[in-house]
Amino acid sequence: MVANFMAGGAAINVFGRQNGIDIKIVDAGVNYDFDKEWNVIDAKVAHGTKSYLNDAAMTAEQFQLTIKRGADLVEQAHKDGTNIIGFGEMGIANTSSAAVLLHLLADVDLKECVGRGTGWDDEGLKRKYEILKSAVENYKGDSSIENIFAHFGGFEIVMIAGAMLKAAELKMIIMVDGFIITSALLAASKINPKVLEYCIFTHKSNENGHKHMLAHLNADAILDLGMRLGEGTGAAVAYPIIESAVNFLNQMASFEDAGVSNSDKVLNE
């Protein structure tokens, strides 16, 4: 999939080209070393996380490094002139991490959090739930957001959370896509609630847990198109609507500006 991104063949590449969005591909923890000519941004923390069934996905030191690398990437983007940013993801089993984070951070029943991901049948869904239930029961850490996030998060989710926190600090607009990205925001909002003031929720996921995330964050998504693409595609598709709203507010003349009289009469007619 990373090769597909770099070749321009993924869904996010299509929407990025269509809407003039600059796409950056970041390696947060792929179990592969990319050659420099790939032009993948190297932010790798390790070659994948550990299984959180019986152990923490990452160490405390790796967690802090991942947060910082996400923040550094956004700070550089801001210096380059960006004031609006969206995040996408491509990770294996990250709907599982998102489900557990929702369960523990928003106190939603685990069965309501676990969905079919990339297409589990009923038996697979049941097995997925049982594994995640065991992982939660095996967790011996405390209830701090940092420990929960380091134990169950993926490098991509934690890095996105760090990026979101820095984006809010820099007063950038954050486009929030789907279930995985909203799980990063959910965790980030527990670290600093003010991050929510800078967010626009772009697309509602078909994953059952996402409706619970949105409800917990008191948020409504702009779009509900039934897409199951990930990659930040919801943000890319919603971007022209956001741009239209900005242009509407900045450029449309009011009745006073346009010299329109008897505006009440005009509206009534």
The overall pTM is greater than 0.75: yes
pLDDT tens track for 57-103: 999 999 999 999 999 999 999 999 999 999 999 877 899 999 999 99
3 within domain boundaries: no
Annotated catalytic residue within 146, 156, 231, 243 = 231
80 within domain boundaries: yes
pLDDT tens track for 228-250: 788 899 999 999 999 999 999 99
15 within domain boundaries: no
14 within domain boundaries: no
239 within domain boundaries: yes
24 within domain boundaries: no
CATH number, domain with residue 62: 3.40.50.10210
Whole-angstrom distance, CA of residue 213 vs CA of residue 60: 26
Annotation says 231 is catalytic: yes
pLDDT tens track for 176-206: 999 999 999 999 999 999 999 999 999 999 8
25 within domain boundaries: no
pLDDT tens track for 130-179: 999 999 999 999 999 999 999 999 999 999 999 999 999 999 999 999 99
Please list the helix, strand and coil fractions of the chain in percent, rounded to the nearest 5, in that order: 55, 5, 35
Q: Which domain holds residue 172?
A: 52-247
201 within domain boundaries: yes
Could you please report the per-residue DSSP string of 30-86?
-SSPPPGGG--EE---SSSPPPTTTS-SS-HHHHHHHHHHHHHHHHHHHHTT--EEE
The total number of structural domains in the chain stands at 1
